[in-house]
Homo-oligomer: A and B are copies of this chain.
Amino acid sequence: MKIKFLLIGKTDSDILSKGVNDYIKRLKHYIPFEMSIIPDLKNTKNLSEGQQKQKEGELILNFIKSGDFVVLLDEKGKEYTSIDFSGFIEKQMISGLKNLIFIIGGPYGFSEEVYKKCNSKISLSRMTFSHQMVRLIFTEQLYRAMTIIKGEPYHHR
Protein backbone atom coordinates (compact mmCIF):
# COMPACT_ATOMS: atom_id res chain seq x y z
CA MET A 1 0.00 0.00 0.00
CA LYS A 2 1.08 3.54 -0.70
CA ILE A 3 0.11 6.52 1.41
CA LYS A 4 -0.53 9.71 -0.54
CA PHE A 5 -0.86 13.06 1.16
CA LEU A 6 -2.52 15.74 -0.95
CA LEU A 7 -2.64 19.39 0.07
CA ILE A 8 -4.07 22.58 -1.26
CA GLY A 9 -1.92 25.43 -0.12
CA LYS A 10 1.23 27.39 -0.19
CA THR A 11 4.23 25.60 -1.62
CA ASP A 12 6.80 28.00 -0.17
CA SER A 13 9.00 26.48 2.44
CA ASP A 14 9.10 27.97 5.88
CA ILE A 15 10.73 27.40 9.21
CA LEU A 16 8.81 24.14 9.74
CA SER A 17 9.48 22.50 6.39
CA LYS A 18 12.66 20.88 7.70
CA GLY A 19 10.58 19.11 10.32
CA VAL A 20 8.06 17.93 7.73
CA ASN A 21 10.85 16.64 5.48
CA ASP A 22 12.49 14.88 8.40
CA TYR A 23 9.31 12.95 9.30
CA ILE A 24 8.69 12.07 5.64
CA LYS A 25 12.22 10.71 5.35
CA ARG A 26 11.69 8.54 8.41
CA LEU A 27 8.23 7.47 7.26
CA LYS A 28 9.55 6.24 3.92
CA HIS A 29 11.60 3.59 5.73
CA TYR A 30 8.28 1.95 6.60
CA ILE A 31 5.93 2.52 3.71
CA PRO A 32 5.80 4.09 0.22
CA PHE A 33 4.75 7.69 0.72
CA GLU A 34 4.16 10.65 -1.57
CA MET A 35 3.21 14.22 -0.71
CA SER A 36 1.62 16.33 -3.46
CA ILE A 37 0.78 20.00 -3.23
CA ILE A 38 -1.82 21.73 -5.38
CA PRO A 39 -0.72 25.39 -5.25
CA ASP A 40 -3.18 28.01 -3.96
CA LEU A 41 -5.48 29.22 -6.74
CA LYS A 42 -4.39 32.51 -8.34
CA ASN A 43 -6.72 35.49 -8.71
CA THR A 44 -9.25 34.28 -6.17
CA LYS A 45 -10.47 37.83 -5.47
CA ASN A 46 -13.18 37.52 -8.10
CA LEU A 47 -14.31 34.13 -6.81
CA SER A 48 -16.91 33.52 -4.13
CA GLU A 49 -16.01 31.04 -1.39
CA GLY A 50 -18.25 28.50 -3.09
CA GLN A 51 -16.57 29.01 -6.47
CA GLN A 52 -13.11 28.65 -4.93
CA LYS A 53 -14.10 25.42 -3.17
CA GLN A 54 -15.59 24.18 -6.45
CA LYS A 55 -12.39 24.83 -8.41
CA GLU A 56 -10.19 23.32 -5.74
CA GLY A 57 -12.55 20.35 -5.62
CA GLU A 58 -12.09 19.69 -9.34
CA LEU A 59 -8.30 19.63 -8.88
CA ILE A 60 -8.68 17.22 -5.97
CA LEU A 61 -11.01 14.90 -7.87
CA ASN A 62 -8.51 14.76 -10.78
CA PHE A 63 -6.01 13.33 -8.35
CA ILE A 64 -8.20 10.45 -7.16
CA LYS A 65 -8.25 7.14 -9.03
CA SER A 66 -10.91 4.48 -8.92
CA GLY A 67 -10.32 2.16 -5.96
CA ASP A 68 -8.40 4.72 -3.88
CA PHE A 69 -9.45 5.05 -0.25
CA VAL A 70 -9.92 8.77 0.42
CA VAL A 71 -9.69 10.35 3.87
CA LEU A 72 -10.33 14.07 4.38
CA LEU A 73 -8.68 15.96 7.21
CA ASP A 74 -11.75 17.86 8.26
CA GLU A 75 -12.81 19.69 11.40
CA LYS A 76 -16.07 17.71 11.36
CA GLY A 77 -14.13 14.45 11.14
CA LYS A 78 -13.66 11.76 13.75
CA GLU A 79 -10.95 12.27 16.34
CA TYR A 80 -8.59 9.34 16.86
CA THR A 81 -6.04 8.55 19.49
CA SER A 82 -2.60 7.76 18.02
CA ILE A 83 -3.16 4.08 18.82
CA ASP A 84 -6.57 4.04 17.10
CA PHE A 85 -5.12 5.90 14.12
CA SER A 86 -2.38 3.28 13.75
CA GLY A 87 -5.11 0.62 13.90
CA PHE A 88 -6.97 2.39 11.10
CA ILE A 89 -3.82 2.45 8.91
CA GLU A 90 -3.00 -1.18 9.65
CA LYS A 91 -6.53 -2.24 8.72
CA GLN A 92 -6.14 -0.57 5.31
CA MET A 93 -2.73 -2.19 4.80
CA ILE A 94 -4.11 -5.65 5.52
CA SER A 95 -7.09 -5.12 3.20
CA GLY A 96 -4.87 -5.13 0.10
CA LEU A 97 -5.65 -1.49 -0.70
CA LYS A 98 -3.36 0.13 -3.28
CA ASN A 99 -3.59 3.84 -2.37
CA LEU A 100 -4.62 5.44 0.90
CA ILE A 101 -5.04 9.17 0.27
CA PHE A 102 -5.22 11.83 2.98
CA ILE A 103 -6.32 15.27 1.83
CA ILE A 104 -6.08 18.75 3.37
CA GLY A 105 -8.39 21.26 1.71
CA GLY A 106 -8.12 24.96 0.98
CA PRO A 107 -9.02 27.85 3.30
CA TYR A 108 -12.81 27.29 2.99
CA GLY A 109 -12.82 23.51 3.19
CA PHE A 110 -14.06 20.98 0.65
CA SER A 111 -16.72 21.08 -2.06
CA GLU A 112 -19.79 18.82 -1.85
CA GLU A 113 -18.37 16.67 -4.66
CA VAL A 114 -15.22 15.98 -2.64
CA TYR A 115 -17.30 15.13 0.45
CA LYS A 116 -19.33 12.71 -1.68
CA LYS A 117 -16.18 11.05 -3.01
CA CYS A 118 -14.46 10.53 0.35
CA ASN A 119 -14.55 7.31 2.36
CA SER A 120 -13.76 8.82 5.73
CA LYS A 121 -13.09 12.08 7.58
CA ILE A 122 -10.66 12.56 10.42
CA SER A 123 -9.88 15.52 12.66
CA LEU A 124 -6.48 16.02 14.30
CA SER A 125 -7.83 18.40 16.92
CA ARG A 126 -10.72 20.73 17.61
CA MET A 127 -8.16 23.53 17.33
CA THR A 128 -7.31 25.17 14.01
CA PHE A 129 -3.71 24.89 12.82
CA SER A 130 -1.87 26.61 9.99
CA HIS A 131 -1.26 24.62 6.79
CA GLN A 132 2.35 24.07 7.65
CA MET A 133 1.51 22.96 11.20
CA VAL A 134 -1.04 20.43 9.90
CA ARG A 135 1.58 19.00 7.54
CA LEU A 136 4.03 18.65 10.39
CA ILE A 137 1.53 17.19 12.88
CA PHE A 138 0.12 14.80 10.34
CA THR A 139 3.45 13.46 9.04
CA GLU A 140 4.54 12.96 12.66
CA GLN A 141 1.34 10.99 13.37
CA LEU A 142 1.86 8.84 10.26
CA TYR A 143 5.42 8.11 11.36
CA ARG A 144 4.19 7.39 14.89
CA ALA A 145 1.49 5.08 13.51
CA MET A 146 4.08 3.05 11.60
CA THR A 147 6.27 2.65 14.70
CA ILE A 148 3.20 1.51 16.66
CA ILE A 149 2.33 -1.04 13.96
CA LYS A 150 5.92 -2.34 14.03
CA GLY A 151 5.97 -2.40 17.84
CA GLU A 152 8.87 0.04 18.01
CA PRO A 153 9.53 2.21 21.07
CA TYR A 154 8.96 5.72 19.61
CA HIS A 155 5.40 5.79 20.96
CA HIS A 156 5.66 4.92 24.62
CA ARG A 157 2.49 6.26 26.17
Contact = CB atoms under 8 A, between A and B. Distances in A.
Given A16-B19, A137-B137, A128 B107 contact: no
Main secondary structure of the interface of A (DSSP, over half): loop
A144 interface: yes
Interface stretch (A3-11, A56-64, A79-87): A79-87
A130 B137 contact: no
A130 B140 contact: yes
Interface residues of A, number: 27
Interface in A68-98: 79-82, 85
Q: How many chain copies?
A: 2
A29 interface: no
30 contacts: A15-B19, A15-B22, A16-B16, A16-B19, A19-B19, A79-B125, A79-B126, A79-B127, A80-B126, A80-B127, A81-B126, A81-B127, A81-B128, A82-B127, A82-B128, A85-B127, A124-B125, A124-B127, A125-B127, A127-B137, A127-B141, A128-B144, A128-B155, A129-B137, A129-B140, A133-B136, A133-B137, A133-B140, A136-B136, A137-B137
